[in-house]
Amino acid sequence: MPKGYWVSAYRTISDPEKLAAYNKLARLAVEAGGGRVLARGGRVVAHDAGIAERTVLVEFDSFEQAVAAHESAAYQEALVALSDGVERDFRIIEGID
């Protein structure tokens, strides 16, 4: 069964306090959903139209698990805390295998 991944590329961070509140709640939601953070906020080299800003990669055992974790009440609470604190490109993608 192919794994699922959350890929989040932050374009701007306008409110670091909202991001910090989101991070606390999102970490708990990701762990509860079976996710593992593979990369978060490390060095970034951007190409083409990319922006060298914070990037996060989270792995789940399946695509369905990744979608369910995003739809969970715990993660939705984290999104409320984040609100307009950032502009980001968030995607859930299916791995190759």
Q: How far apart are CA 72 and CA 65, in angstroms?
A: 10
Q: Does the pTM exceed 0.85?
A: yes
Q: How far apart are CA 61 and CA 70, in angstroms?
A: 14
Residue 28 three-state SS: helix
What is the band of 7 on the pLDDT scale with cuts at 50, 70, 90?
A: very high
Q: What confidence score (pLDDT) does residue 80 get?
A: 98
Q: Which secondary structure element, helix H or strand E, spans residue 13, and what is its range?
A: strand 4-13
Measured on CA atoms in the order 73, 19, 37, 89, is the torsion positive or negative?
positive
Neighbouring CB atoms inside 10 A of 56's CB total 20
CA geometry: angle 31, 65, 42, nearest 5 deg: 50
When the pLDDT of each residue in the chain is averaged and rounded to a whole number, the result is 96
Mean pLDDT of 6-32: 97
Mean pLDDT of 73-78: 98
Q: How far apart are CA 53 and CA 29, in angstroms?
A: 23
